[in-house]
Amino acid sequence: MVFRVVESAYLNLTTEQNLLQEVAMGEKLNLQVIVEAYPGLQVFNWTYLGPFSNDKSKLNFATIEDTYRYTSTLYLPRLKPDEAGRYSFWARNARGEDALTFNLTLQYPPEVRVAWNPINGSGALLCDASGYPQPDVTWVQCSGHTDRCDEAQALVFEDPHPEILSQKPFHKVTVRSLLVMGTLEHNRTYECRAHNSAGNSSQAFSHISVGTSIQPPEEPLFTPVLVACVSVMVLLLLLLMLLLYKYKQKPKYRVRWKIIESYEGNNYTFIDPTQLPYNEKWEFPRNNLQFGKTLGAGAFGKVVEATAFGLGKEDAVLKVAVKMLKSTAHTDEKEALMSELKIMSHLGQHENIVNLLGACTHGGPVLVITEYCCYGDLLNFLRRKAEAMLGPSLSPGQDPGYKNIHLEKKYVRRDSGFSSQGVDTYVEMRPVSTSSNDSFSEQDLDKDGWPLELQDLLHFSSQVAQGMAFLASKNCIHRDVAARNVLLTSGRVAKIGDFGLARDIMNDSNYIVKGNARLPVKWMAPESIFDCVYTVQSDVWSYGILLWEIFSLGLNPYPGILVNSKFYKLVKDGYQMAQPAFAPKNIYSIMQACWALEPTDRPTFQQICSLLQEQAQEDSRERGYTNLPSGSSSGGGSSSEPEEESSTLPGPGSGTAIMSQMAAKSSGCSAQSRHPELEGGDTCGWPHQASSMHFPKLTHHN
């Protein structure tokens, strides 16, 4: 016969500490419970049972388990008044449940307050003392006018039975001692002293020779000299606070671009750009830069045109743009520019972003060398070209108001742009200027004397979408997508950049004060305005605003609407701007899709590229033109030189010429190059060897 011994279940809670704990305020306390349980514990926890109502749902404790024995320790560092009370440890297993409760009382040193209580011409001194444990009260009398009586000369009156005014568990105990005065002696001091195990305190009253009044002794802190010193210190403190407030209100240079490391829902984790590596291959000798005119300047720095000698090749002479900080820049602004450099090198190159060419980080201020974009930003380019737009407004009920301009030129057409040769006559058409002077001469149009047409606007839209698709593929969020941050280079190639370094946002009406920052509110998605959430899809919203800018030829978004509470309500309610003057219906549909209130309902940049490609092909079919062959570039941005064919553009009335094919029909977004400078002439002043230059690249990991 086999006997099986089965141990009966048990649950025992014990502690080696006293269940009644008294600890001085500010000290730490660890409460420990030992549990012996079979079977093992199913659940256990520490709980605060009051009496104070502050949230202690997350108590800090640790439990060590060792074969049916548990040791759980509750940690209470730097005890505060509202942490007094009952703390219970509760546990349960198959046997049942049990709890062990500690009562924690904090010790407070006494606080004393003395008051005079007149009674029928004489009176009494009242002394209220509060603390824990209950304070003992002693009266002391001495001659003279003093803050504290000398022990050797003091006359002591003990009060063994003070009246208890307040006594609640876990609270201070307040007692009152009454010293009845018959007659008051002249020039005497009466002092009430209270003490307990946590400390002691006192307060003195003096009898000044004015009748029988009792007044507190004169406090030295209120002497005139001290009052003056305190006043000066307060003024200095206020001045310091004002200067600090002004400093915090002053905008600081921040890198707008952010790279996503990971995300969960709307919680995004971004890569710290200061931790990105910097490849020394980008380093370029600063002595090989010859600076020219300033292209733009702002509160933080400037962008300067420069000539780089030996960039890529020893004999290369290349016009570049150089970003630099002002001499007054602070350390955090220098770090921001270095972070921008690291982000650009991390992203790599693409035809439709302003690419990094080199940098100078040693032996002087940080210089970031980028591509030079000869036509400036897209916004001002559109505004300059507004009256040179070929083709009527697409909005109903609007009179285009054409006028003819005779130019003796022969236009050589190619997919990468236009060039002019010979002296054939061609009559351009453009809307009549409303101003008295025709200000749009070839000189005013920055060496680009050609008019704008719908195909140009489609091309700008497509190129920006391709650049944004590239940034999205690198998990990069731009956060300031707008026409002012798109630059144009030769061949009217659009490149996405960030001109924030050389923009004075304090005086730029596009940047609105929101909190302690200045933000481009009219370009921001609702989730960015109201929840400070920035994603690739919030960039899509901003791209929709940029499309509106392009097809309105540079008008300000939300025309006639001020940024106020009404504007924020319109955005939150789903208000959308009307179709701009030069936008085809399909383009306006893309804008509306970009402005979906729900970010997941907006198209991706890859989808936008495909939609724009279809629109370009549809526009080509409607105009009856066929694009001539040209080279195309991959998403990486380098382009092959297109074959050149020539044709004579049609005269007025027969439609406008197609400037280039929008994008090749392939998976992903491919950029179409437009570089007339490769045809034996550089309209922007770029050197001929630029097309064959090789720049150092880093190896990128997604």
Mapping DSSP onto H, E and C, the string for 288-354 reads HEEEEEEEEECCCEEEEEEEEECCCCCCCEEEEEEEEECCCCCHHHHHHHHHHHHHHHHHCCCCCEC
pLDDT in tens, 65-92: 888 899 999 999 888 888 899 999 999 9
Write out the two tokens for 542: 């901003």
Q: Select from 442, 363, 378 the least CA-distant residue to 408.
A: 442
Residue 253 has pLDDT above 60, yes or no: no
Residue 456 to residue 450: CA distance in whole angstroms: 11
Q: Is the pLDDT of residue 435 over 60?
A: no
Q: Dihedral sign for Cα 181, 185, 187, 190, please.
A: negative
The reply to whether 374 sits in an annotated binding site is yes
Is 127 known as a binding-site position?
A: no
Structure confidence at residue 696 as a pLDDT band (50, 70, 90)? very low
| CB neighbour class for 656 (10 Å; exposed up to 12, middle 13-18, buried from 19) | buried
In the chain, the percentage of residues whose pLDDT exceeds 90 is 35
| Residue position matching structure tokens 């509306």 | 592
Which is it for strands 96-117 and 20-24: parallel, antiparallel or unpaired?
parallel
Ligand-binding annotation for 684, yes or no, is no
**Domains in the chain, start-ordered, CATH in brackets?**
10-105 (2.60.40.10), 107-222 (2.60.40.10), 268-376+454-624+646-692 (1.10.510.10)
Mark 191-214 as b/e (b = at least 16 C-beta within 10 Å).
Answer: bbbbbbebebbbbbbbbbeeeeeb
Give me the pLDDT at residue 291, please: 92
Question: What average pLDDT does range 425-450 have in this prediction?
Answer: 40
| pLDDT value of residue 257 | 66
pLDDT of 678 reads 28
Task: Give pLDDT tens digits for 40-56.
Answer: 899 999 998 888 876 66
Q: Does the annotation flag 375 for ligand binding?
A: yes
Half-sphere exposure of 469 (CA within 13 A, CB side): 24
295 appears as a binding residue in the annotation: yes
- 480 among known catalytic residues: yes
Q: DSSP secondary-structure letter at 532? A: -
Rounded Cα–Cα distance for residues 540 and 609 (Å):
12
Whether residue 297 is annotated as binding a ligand: the answer is yes
Q: What pLDDT band is residue 246 in, cutting at 50, 70 and 90?
A: low
Q: Which of 448, 456, 480, 619 is catalytic?
A: 480
Asked whether residue 498 is marked as a ligand-binding residue, the answer is yes
pLDDT of residue 262: 62
Answer yes or no: are the C-beta atoms of 143 and 134 closer than 8 Å: no
Q: 530: annotated binding-site residue?
A: no
- Stretch 233-246: mean pLDDT: 86
- Work out the average pLDDT over 262-286: 77
Structure tokens of 58? 């997350």
Task: Compute and round to an integer the Cα radius of gyration of the chain.
Answer: 40
> Which has the higher per-residue pLDDT, 398 or 549?
549
By three-state DSSP, how is residue 421 classified?
strand
Weakest mean pLDDT among 22-26, 473-477, 619-623: 619-623
| SS3 at position 170 | coil
Residue 303 assigned ligand-binding role: yes
Neighbours of 105 (CB within 10 A): 16
